[in-house]
Amino acid sequence: MAFLFFAILVALIVIAYFLGNRDLLSPWFLICLAVFASFAIILINYANWEVNINGTFILYVTTALISFGVGCQFVKALRPIPASADNGLLKVRVDDFNFKRRYPVNLFIIISVVCAALYIYKLLTEAAGDATSLSGKIRAIYDKIVNEDYYPGFLFNQFLEISMAIAYVNTYRLFLRLYSKSDKISRIKLIIPIIVFLVAVVFSSDRNIFIRYAFYAICLFVLFFRENCKKKNVNAKIIQIVIILLIVMVLLFFLMGALKQYKSNIFRSLGIYGGSGLYNFNLWVEEFDGELAYGGATFSTLLNTINEVLRPFGLDFDFTEYVRFDTFITYQSANGYVYSSNIYSSLKPYVQDFGYLGVIIFPLISGVFFQWLFGKMKSRKYGFSWILYCLLIYPIVFFPIAEQLFARLHLGIVYEIGWCAIIYFAVFRKKRSKKISVKQAV
């Protein structure tokens, strides 16, 4: 069964690649690739995990991927030719970059350092306890967050959000610098806020923030490289560089775990984080009792956010409290290997809510959303649409690991996008239009 599913995933990747016009960032191709990579990790751990793939799991995952693809194709089929198109040409918005206009790189360094320092100070004084070593402090912060649901407060959380937004916009500005011959801004000064942000992420003990930024930067690189590379076999060159970037990302991810005093080696860490979410869903499906939550699982964060907003006005709804960490699945295989993981794929809440219907409905909605966002990004060159698409791409990458699209329907995502938009539009000029062929924009 495992190798049958592997063949199905290969077929879906090929179909998605060509239906996505060979675009490496097309949503359906990306989600099929993410599931394929996760399942490949499961196969690598076949003996240690005593892998036993059940038919229901294959049906659910295959249905979800096809449903996502149907949503993507639906948007492509309904997308009309804009009224501005004439003679086979379509107006495409392009950022009018004037490198003589001053980019506040020094100001961003100061703001980033101050915000990160205040955020880190808050964590060290309230959550680090009596630990003396750096790794001890980070571990104490992590334990307090996990075991006591520690939260540094709205204001200090905004300091992290501002530092994050500056890092995102600076990363975009850095790529402009790398691909421009006339731009003279200091690369070092652009990189400093990014490093400061990553240091704050280390103290936050939340490696998912780092993963989101890493994929944002990689996707942004793909967009810039493809736009500026005029040679043949662009995709082959992109894949070669992306593989190197992913290796660097995995190494940094592992080091962040080591700072939290995780004992697993790099291969075990990659296996558990990258593959166990999908495999845990496979194990969970066999035990699911069929009791449905009808939206309570998928929209738990949204419901609790609504509750928090309305509570000061005397309205308190009896929503199920959001559980940030799932129950651990732990067992020891016949060869002595101990398997323990508490992450599940995106499909678990969908099935909890509506059973098999859930893996049709929610992936379909996701496919429609991401294809629409992808189309908006493709109809523009550079600009905030590139930042927004790369910033929101992580639910696709996280799909085999954990639900990240509906689970982040809370005020945090509003702050994240909001600060990025404020900073971006404060430093870049408005856009002008030029014409390119319709085929390039679709």
Q: What is the pLDDT of residues 298-354, one digit of tens each?
A: 888 888 777 777 767 766 666 555 455 577 888 778 877 887 888 889 999 999 999
Question: Which segment of 95-104, 108-117, 266-275 scores lowest on mean pLDDT?
Answer: 95-104
pLDDT of residue 319: 55
Q: Which tokens hold the place of 150?
A: 């520690």
Residue 86 falls inside a structural domain:
no
Tokens of 161: 């959000």
Radius of gyration, CA atoms only, the chain: 22
Categorize the per-residue pLDDT at 410 as very low, low, confident or very high, splitting at 50, 70 and 90.
confident
For the chain, give the mean pLDDT. 85
For residue 144, tell me if it sits in a domain: yes
pLDDT on residue 184: 83
| 182, 138 Cβ separation under 8 angstroms | no
50 and 23 inside one domain: yes
pLDDT higher than 80, residue 93: no
List the single range of 56-70, 91-105, 130-144, 254-268 with lowest mean pLDDT: 91-105
Residue 319 has phi, psi (to 5 degrees) of -85, 150
Q: What percent of the chain has pLDDT over 70?
A: 89
> What per-residue confidence (pLDDT) applies to 190?
95
pLDDT of residue 314: 66
8 A C-beta contact, residue 59 and residue 9: no
- Show the domain range for 116: 91-261+410-441
Note whether 41 and 98 are same-domain residues.
Answer: no
Q: With cut-offs at 50, 70 and 90, classify the pLDDT of residue 438.
A: very low
Residue 196 lies in a domain: yes
Three-state secondary structure call for residue 188: helix
Predicted model pTM: 0.88
Query: Residue 432: which H helix or E strand, with range?
Result: strand 431-437
71 plus 95 within the same structural domain: no
* Cα–Cα distance, 34 to 345 (Å, whole number): 11
pLDDT tens for residues 168-227?
A: 999 999 999 988 877 888 999 999 999 999 999 999 988 889 999 999 999 999 999 998
Quick check: is 172 in a domain? yes
Query: Across 101-110, 143-152, 318-327, which has the greatest mean pLDDT?
Result: 101-110
Q: Which of 182, 103, 177, 119 is nearest to 151 (CA)?
A: 119
pLDDT band (50, 70, 90) for residue 147: confident
Highest mean pLDDT among 89-98, 153-162, 291-300: 153-162
What is the predicted pLDDT for the residue at 433? 44
- What distances in angstroms separate CA 368 from CA 28, 72, 204, one per listed residue? 10, 5, 33
Q: What is residue 260's predicted lDDT score, i.e. its pLDDT?
A: 85
| Residues 194 and 188 sit within 8 Å (Cβ to Cβ) | no
124 falls in which pLDDT band (50, 70, 90)? very high
Same domain, 292 and 170: no
**Assigned domain for 404 exists:** no
Report the number of distinct structural domains present in the chain. Answer: 2
Between 55 and 302, name the one with better pLDDT. 55
Q: Are residues 237 and 324 in the same domain?
A: no
Among 321, 336, 358, residue at a domain's last position:
358
Q: Is residue 348 part of a domain?
A: yes
Res 88: pLDDT = 40
**Does residue 136 fall inside a structural domain?**
yes
Domain match, 112 and 222 both: yes
- pLDDT score of 97: 54
Of 20-24, 124-128, 263-267, 318-322, the one with minimum mean pLDDT is 318-322
106 and 245 co-located in one domain: yes
pLDDT digits (tens, 9 = 90+) for 126-143: 988 888 888 899 999 988
- Best CA proximity match to 113, nearest among 206, 198, 212: 198
pLDDT band at 101 (very low <50, low <70, confident <90, very high): low
> Are 200 and 230 found together in one domain?
yes
Instruction: State yes or no: pLDDT of 87 exceeds 60.
Output: no
Q: Do 425 and 351 belong together in one domain?
A: no
Question: What's the maximum distance between 2 C-alpha atoms anywhere in the chain?
Answer: 71
- Residue where one domain finishes, among candidates 358, 375, 395: 358
The answer to whether residues 325 and 249 belong to one domain is no
Q: What are phi and psi of 346, to 5 degrees?
A: -60, -25
Give yes or no: residues 219 and 232 share one domain. Answer: yes
Whether residues 301 and 178 share a domain: the answer is no
- Position 90 scores a pLDDT of 41
State which amino acid sits at residue 403.
E
pLDDT at 334: 80
What's the confidence (pLDDT) of residue 362? 95
| In-domain check, residue 51 | yes
